[in-house]
């Protein structure tokens, strides 16, 4: 018995809960006060045709009374963390799928509850008491079917699909509606006559297995309500740690681009140090009007120091970018991170003074807020807030946003 809990219009619901005067009114969340694109919106706004990704100007034309709410990622992370902790009263077996979704494995505690419907109602009550927001719940025998079930009665819905009914329920559902089947896989299936889940049996599992490996075999079973994927109850070791940021449109000023790179370099370095990691390889990218410029550069030895990462960024800019080309986004990612206390090159010496300064800076920032102490140029950094990545988790290295006592 697997349940999928999906918080309804989560960011907007949190804002409406914190601002009672916004209840039952159209609310749109943007990335800061200057944000021009809608991150998400309330169901009242959606009734006017407002959608995620829409420009605020266009949304106001559709809905003149639209309320703009600058995103508060630390608040959303706080509420999400409260919800995930509260759900452990239902079952300890939880996979935090995203900031507003979680899978619950209820298999081992079915005898504690009267029925799947009763458990679903208990989950909804638990979420509401922990956060004040509403959620939709889907329950079935596997992850894919339960996630599909949760979408059927939004908002504030509850749908139970017994495992023995899953294949029949999914038979007329377009395969592209299932989680994990993107346009590429969907087109591959369409070329072979598979448009709805019921068509999947027209092709042997080996066709998907040869093209996509084990994920392809899983997709073949997913369409039949037999997703074999277990819940991921722990966060795996990181394969990369990175941060990116959208910068002012068509930026051509080098100092502005460098400022954003310094901002991202310090964020990556702080996360590496927080989890006792370091890296020698850093993927650096810049999105321009001509597409992505990108490369992977190396430090002399493995590092978790923001200044050293920033130096690589400046080298990257000197090699690949001329300021007559407009820029839109920066990205800095530490690849292949390793434990910071691993084997060192005996010819290279670490800078103990720099390590002590970073440790003191981290301690202050963790207590008083991110970038309370930072390199002086970052005092004039972008006023746009952090963004919660889809892979956010309430614990571990994916806890990229957390409640702090200070500003962003």
Residue with tokens 């140029």: 377
Residue 127's nearest CA partner among 154, 87, 99, 98 is: 87
CA angle 254, 383, 37 (to 5 degrees): 95
* CA dist., res. 157 & res. 161, Å (int): 13
CA atoms within 13 A on the CB side of 143: 20
* CA dist., res. 228 & res. 253, Å (int): 51
Residue with tokens 């989680």: 179
* CA dist., res. 275 & res. 278, Å (int): 9
* CA dist., res. 142 & res. 255, Å (int): 51
Candidate list 101, 177, 266, 289, residue with the active-site label: 101
* Chain-centre distance for alpha carbon 245: 14
Instruction: Quote the radius of gyration of the chain (alpha carbons, Å).
Output: 24
Contact 159, 204 (CB under 8 A): no
* CA dist., res. 172 & res. 153, Å (int): 17
Q: Is 129 a catalytic residue?
A: no
The backbone region for 262, taken as left when phi is positive above 0, alpha when psi lies in -120 to 50, beta otherwise, is alpha
Q: Are strands 158-160 and 135-140 parallel, antiparallel or unpaired?
A: parallel
Catalytic residues: 101
């Amino acid at each position: 018995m697997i349940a999928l809990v999906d918080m309804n219009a989560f960011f907007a619901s949190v804002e409406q809960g914190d601002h009672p005067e916004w209840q039952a009114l159209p609310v749109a969340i943007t990335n800061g006060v200057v944000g021009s694109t809608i991150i998400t919106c309330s169901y009242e706004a959606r009734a006017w045709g407002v959608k995620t990704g829409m420009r605020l100007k266009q949304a106001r034309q559709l809905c003149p009374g639209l309320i703009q709410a600058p995103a508060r990622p630390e608040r959303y992370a706080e509420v999400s963390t409260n919800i995930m902790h509260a759900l452990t009263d239902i079952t300890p077996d939880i996979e935090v799928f995203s900031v507003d979704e979680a899978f619950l494995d209820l298999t081992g505690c079915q005898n504690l509850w009267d029925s799947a419907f009763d458990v679903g109602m208990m989950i909804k009550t638990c979420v509401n008491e922990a956060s004040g927001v509403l959620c939709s719940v889907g329950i079935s025998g596997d992850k894919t079917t339960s996630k599909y079930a949760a979408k059927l009665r939004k908002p504030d819905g509850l749908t139970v699909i017994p495992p023995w009914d899953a294949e029949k329920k999914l038979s007329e559902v377009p395969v592209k509606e299932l989680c994990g089947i993107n346009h590429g896989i969907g087109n591959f299936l369409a070329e072979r006559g598979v448009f709805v889940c019921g068509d999947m049996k027209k092709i042997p599992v080996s066709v998907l297995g040869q093209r996509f490996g084990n994920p392809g075999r899983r997709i073949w079973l997913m369409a039949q309500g037999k997703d074999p994927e277990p819940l991921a109850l722990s966060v795996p070791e990181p394969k990369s740690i990175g941060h990116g940021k959208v910068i002012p449109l068509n930026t051509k000023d080098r100092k502005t681009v460098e400022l954003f790179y310094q901002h991202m370099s310090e964020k990556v370095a702080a996360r590496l140090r927080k989890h006792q990691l370091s890296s020698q390889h850093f993927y650096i990218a810049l999105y321009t009007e001509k597409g992505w410029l990108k490369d992977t550069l190396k430090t002399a030895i493995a590092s978790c120091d923001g200044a050293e990462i920033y130096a690589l960024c400046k080298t990257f800019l000197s090699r690949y970018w001329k300021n007559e080309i407009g820029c839109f986004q920066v990205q800095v990612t530490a690849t292949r991170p390793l434990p910071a206390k691993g084997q060192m090159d005996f010819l290279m010496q670490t800078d103990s003074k720099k390590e002590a300064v970073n440790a003191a800076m981290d301690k202050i920032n963790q207590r008083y807020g991110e970038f309370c102490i930072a390199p002086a140029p970052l005092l004039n950094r972008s006023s746009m807030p952090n963004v919660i990545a889809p892979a956010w988790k309430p614990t571990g290295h994916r806890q990229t946003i957390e409640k702090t006592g200070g500003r962003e």
